[in-house]
Amino acid sequence: MRSKTDLLQGTLDLLILKTLALGPLHGWGIAQRLQQISDAVLQVNQGSLYPALHRLEQQGLLSASWGSSDNNRQAKFYALTTAGRRQLDAETAHWTRMSTAIARVLEAT
């Protein structure tokens, strides 16, 4: 009984892009920040996170560079590219469109 999914499918890219718009961050940090901002509602597991990051990087939306984290560990820092910023805008618009439409349906009587 699968049923309970930790995220709304299709929103992970958006969440990652948005998080990185606030400043470069490493994968683990992204997951942490999302969890924190969302009061633990949004849980990103590694099996989703890392593939997503690689995907986005491969699409040219993110750039990556190794560095050292706050805890003095090797970490791969991701940053938005210009294309990434554009993509963020597009996906934000799409999300707004969609969620508004759904809200309208849910309010119908």
Partner DNA sequence: CAATCTCCTGTCGCTAATCTACAAGAACAT
Partner DNA sequence: ATGTTCTTGTAGATTAGCGACAGGAGATTG
Size of the site for DNA (CB under 7 A): 33
Interface residue with a second copy, options 47, 74, 82, 105 (CB under 8 A): 105
Footprint on residues 9-48 left by DNA (CB under 7 A): 9-13, 26-29, 32, 44-48
Q: Binding to a second copy by residue 8, rule CB under 8 A? A: yes
**Euclidean distance between CA atoms 78 and 17, whole angstroms:** 10
The nearest distance, CB 52 to a second copy, in angstroms, is 14
Report how far apart the first and last C-alpha atoms of the chain are (Å, whole number): 31
Contact 91, 17 (CB under 8 A): yes
